[in-house]
Every structure is written in structure tokens, then in C-alpha cells.
């Protein structure tokens, strides 16, 4: 039976990524692909260590954005004809625990035909109030414009079946907007989207993640509005 490939887009990752990868390798997965999205030179040693741990490390000479990093990884899988039933995208900054990844991995045995989202529990007191408020606002906007209710459209922990990689490589968005565009296009194509509750890793106090799972409210509103108008025009 074909196994899953873990894909990690990374920009200036924390040193803890190395130990995280070592723990991930204990899971029943095919391999781990790390995309160095133009990290600073001081992180070169960390990426070398990841390669020594058996990771496939792909490198952008400059920062091109999370969306481009994910597409680089997908294109690599397709061009290399790597055998896998799908990929699980994981953050490089401690947002996800190994248990979270394992939870999504186990869910692929049931929901193998569609995209699986690892949904965070925003009722947890460890989440800042602003994060809870933003998550709720994003979900409401998404439901308003796309007519689909999803509890956590920002989550970077996702399972994607291999058969969907070709069209996902063509979805617009080079930055973090790609995550939202992916879901919009999946719904348009009638690809099932499943939600699986996960916990969350304990981030250091006052830590801010700029690269993963952070959306600008103005940008997301603009993107949803554009897609809404485009959809409305096509139905005329």
C-alpha cells in the first residue's frame, strides 16, 4: 500500500524542526520533503542536517512565498514520479505536533478521496483572543462568499490525495493566499473537504508566525470578493 509524503515549506525555521523531523520519520510515511523558501544563509547548516536525516531538500534562491513553495514540492513529486497516495503539508515553526500529524495520517484511511483539514480548537484558552476572533471572521467571510462552511480555512496541516496535485500546481497564489485559493478551487471542482479536529503545539509566549497560517483580513476579503464576482459572472 502506498504511503504518504510529508511536505514542509520552510522560511528561517526554528532549530526544533530537526528533532520534529526525526520524530515524524517514526510514522508510517514514504518520505519527507522540505522546501527551503529562500531562508537566510545562517540556516544552511540546518537544511544540511535535514538532508542528512534523509529529507529531500528543495531550495529557492530567494523567498517566493508559501504557495510557491508548496507548488515546488508538488511539481517535484509529479516530475520525479514518486509513489505516494498523497501528501500532508506541515508547518516548520512548531504549529503542529507529531500527534496532530498522526491524527490526520490516520484519517486518510477513511477520507482518502478528498482534502483533509486539521482543524484547531480555538476554544482552547491558550489561543489569544485576537486569533479566535480572526479565525471566526475568516470562516464567516468564506461561508458568505463561497457558500461553504469551514471552521479553519487558515490551517496549514492538510492531506491532499496525489490525483489532485496536477490541478493544484496551477492554482493561483504564490504566498499564503494559496491556502484559501486551494479550498475555493477544490469546492468548485466538487472535491470533498473533510475536517478533522487536532490539538496544537505549545508555541513560545509572544511568538509570531509570519510565514504559516497568517492571513491579512483585507487581502482575504479581496480574494473572496474576486472569486464571488467571478462565480456570479459565470452563472449568468
**Which grid cell is 159?**
492531506
How many domains is the chain partitioned into structurally?
Answer: 1
The CATH number linked to 38 is: 3.90.550.10
Please tell me the distance from the alpha carbon of residue 161 to that of residue 178, in angstroms, as a whole number.
17
pLDDT score recorded for residue 121: 66
In whole angstroms, what is the distance from residue 236 CA to residue 229 CA? 11
In whole angstroms, give the CA distance from residue 118 to residue 200.
Answer: 10
**104: closest CA among 27, 2, 36?**
27
Residue 113 backbone phi and psi in degrees, to 5: -90, -10
Q: Is residue 53 a contact partner of residue 6, using CB atoms and an 8 Å limit? A: no
pLDDT in tens, the chain (236 residues): 689 999 999 999 999 999 999 999 999 999 999 999 999 999 999 999 999 999 999 999 999 999 999 999 999 999 999 999 999 999 998 889 999 999 999 999 999 899 999 987 655 545 554 555 565 666 677 776 677 888 788 889 999 999 999 999 999 999 888 998 999 999 999 999 999 988 754 444 444 444 655 545 555 555 555 555 555 555 55
CA-based nearest residue to 7, from 153, 220, 165: 165
Q: How is 66-104 classified by DSSP, letter by letter?
A: HHHHHHHHHHHHHHHT---SEEEE--SSS-S-HHHHHHH
206 lies in which domain range?
A: 4-234
Amino acid at each position: 500500500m502506498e504511503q504518504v509524503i510529508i511536505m514542509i515549506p520552510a522560511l528561517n525555521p526554528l532549530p526544533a524542526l530537526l528533532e520534529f523531523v526525526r520524530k515524524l520519520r517514526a510514522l508510517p510515511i514514504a518520505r519527507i520533503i522540505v522546501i527551503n523558501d529562500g531562508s537566510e544563509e545562517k540556516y544552511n547548516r540546518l537544511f544540511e542536517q535535514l538532508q542528512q536525516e534523509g529529507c529531500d531538500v528543495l531550495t529557492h534562491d530567494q523567498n517566493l512565498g508559501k504557495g510557491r513553495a508548496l507548488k515546488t514540492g508538488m511539481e517535484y513529486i509529479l516530475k520525479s514520479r514518486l509513489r505516494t497516495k498523497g501528501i500532508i503539508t506541515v508547518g516548520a515553526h512548531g504549529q503542529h505536533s507529531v500527534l496532530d500529524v498522526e491524527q490526520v495520517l490516520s484519517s486518510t484511511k477513511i477520507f482518502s478521496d478528498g482534502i483533509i483539514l486539521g482543524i484547531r480548537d480555538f476554544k482552547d484558552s491558550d489561543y489569544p483572543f485576537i486569533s479566535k476572533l480572526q479565525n471566526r471572521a475568516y470562516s464567516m467571510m468564506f461561508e458568505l462568499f463561497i457558500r461553504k462552511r469551514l471552521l479553519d480555512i487558515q490551517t496549514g496541516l492538510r492531506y491532499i490525495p496525489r490525483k489532485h496535485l496536477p490541478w493544484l500546481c496551477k492554482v493561483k497564489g504564490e504566498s499564503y493566499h494559496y491556502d484559501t485559493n486551494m479550498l475555493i478551487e477544490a469546492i468548485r471542482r466538487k472535491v470533498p473537504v473533510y475536517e478533522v479536529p487536532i490539538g496544537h503545539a505549545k508555541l513560545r509566549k509572544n511568538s509570531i508566525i509570519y510565514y504559516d497560517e497568517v492571513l491579512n483580513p483585507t487581502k482575504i476579503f479581496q480574494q473572496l470578493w474576486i472569486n464571488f464576482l467571478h462565480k456570479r459572472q459565470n452563472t449568468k
